[in-house]
Amino acid sequence: PPAEPLTELRQAGGVRTIVLNNPRRRNALSLPMLQSLRRDLLHDVKSRELRVIVIAAEGPVFCSGHDLKELSSEDDVKHHSQVFELCAEVMTLIQKLPVPVIAKVNGLATAAGCQLVASCDIAVASEKSQFATPGVNIGLFCSTPAVALGRSLPRKVALEMLFTGEPLSAQEALMHGLISKVVPEEKLEEETMKISQKICESSKSVLALGKATFYRQITQDLDTAYKMTTKVMVDNLTLRDGQEGIEAFVQKRKPVWSH
C-alpha cells in the first residue's frame, strides 16, 4: 500500500490544521517531513478563507526533532546542511506567514520539535506535555533550537535546558513563557478551537499587519520600535478594515471585514 502522507492538511471555517503524521518515527523532522510541512504552511496562504493555522500531531510524541539517521556520517556535509537550512527556513516561515500559527501540543516536544513550538505565535499544551532540548546528551548541542528557545524563555532557563537536556513540564513551560496555556488533555481541542475561532472574528489584513510589525519591533531598540510602530498605526488607519472597525464601533454595530 502507498505510504501515508507525512503531514495531513484539513481546513474548515478559516482554520487550517496541519497534523504531523509519522508517529512511528515520533514525528521526526526528517527532510521529507520538513518539505511536507513547508508545503502545507504555504498552501494557498493568501486566501481570504484562511485565518489561522494549527500545527498538531498524531501519537504520544508531538515531535522528537531531527531524524538522527539523516545526521549520521553516512550522509555528507552537503546533506546535513540541507536538513538544517530547511529547518531554519520552516521555523522563520512560521513567523513570516500572514496568519497566526498555533502549536497544539499533546505529548513530548524535543530538540527541533521544541524549536517548532517556540517558533509558533501561540502554543496550547495538554498537562502531560513536556519540552526538552536533549541534544547535548548525544553530543549534538541544540544550537538551532536555541535560537527560538532563547527568544521565548529567560536566558538562564533556556541555558539550563540546553546544558542539561532535562525537560520542562507543561506547567514549567507555561510559567517561563514557552507556551501560552495548559489544559487537561480532554480540553485541548476545545481550547485550541476557542482561540482559533476568536482570531477568525478579526480582519485578516489587520492581523497580518500586526503580526509582521510585532516581529519587526521586538528586535529593535525602544525608540526605533516606537518610531516604526507609530507609522504602522497610521498605515493601519488607511486600511479599509481599519476604517470599517472604527466606524462600526462609533455606530455600535458589528464590523463587516473585507479582509
Domain harbouring 174, CATH code: 3.90.226.10
Does one domain contain both 171 and 88? yes
In a domain, 111, yes or no: yes
In a domain, 99, yes or no: yes
Does one domain contain both 109 and 225? no
Q: According to the model, what pLDDT value does residue 216 have?
A: 97
For 13-44, write each residue's pLDDT tens digit: 999 999 999 999 999 999 999 999 999 999 99
Total domains in the chain come to 2
| Percentage of the chain exceeding pLDDT 90 | 94
Q: Please tell me the distance from the alpha carbon of residue 199 to that of residue 201, in angstroms, as a whole number.
A: 5
**Distance between the two ends of the chain, CA-based, in angstroms?**
43
Does one domain contain both 207 and 237? yes
Domain span at residue 182 reads 7-200
Where is the domain boundary, 166, 185, 200?
200
Does one domain contain both 179 and 227? no
- State the pairing for strand pair 52-57/61-63: unpaired
Does one domain contain both 79 and 145? yes
In a domain, 16, yes or no: yes
Does one domain contain both 206 and 184? no
For 85-144, write each residue's pLDDT tens digit: 999 999 999 999 999 999 999 999 999 999 999 999 999 999 999 999 999 999 999 999
233 within 8 A of 250, measured Cβ to Cβ: no
Q: According to the model, what pLDDT value does residue 69 have?
A: 87
Does one domain contain both 158 and 245? no
Which backbone phi and psi does 7 adopt, to 5 degrees? -130, 150
In a domain, 52, yes or no: yes
Q: According to the model, what pLDDT value does residue 197 have?
A: 98
Does one domain contain both 209 and 189? no
Q: According to the model, what pLDDT value does residue 36 have?
A: 97
Residue 2 has pLDDT above 80, yes or no: no
Does one domain contain both 50 and 158? yes
Those residues whose C-beta lies under 8 Å from the C-beta of residue 115, and which sit 6 or more positions away, are 65, 87, 91, 142, 144, 145, 147, 148, 149
In a domain, 259, yes or no: no
Does one domain contain both 108 and 210? no
The closest of 12, 60, 74, 67 to 35, measured between CA atoms, is 67
In a domain, 102, yes or no: yes
Where is the domain boundary, 180, 200, 220?
200
In a domain, 173, yes or no: yes
DSSP assignment of 56-88: EESSSEEE--S-GGGGSTTS-HHHHHHHHHHHH
Averaged over 161-167, what is the pLDDT? Answer: 98
Averaged over 164-179, what is the pLDDT? Answer: 98
Q: Please tell me the distance from the alpha carbon of residue 177 to that of residue 117, in angstroms, as a whole number.
A: 11
Q: According to the model, what pLDDT value does residue 1 have?
A: 55
Does one domain contain both 92 and 178? yes
Where is the domain boundary, 157, 181, 200?
200
Does one domain contain both 103 and 217? no
In a domain, 258, yes or no: no
CATH of the domain at 223: 1.10.12.10
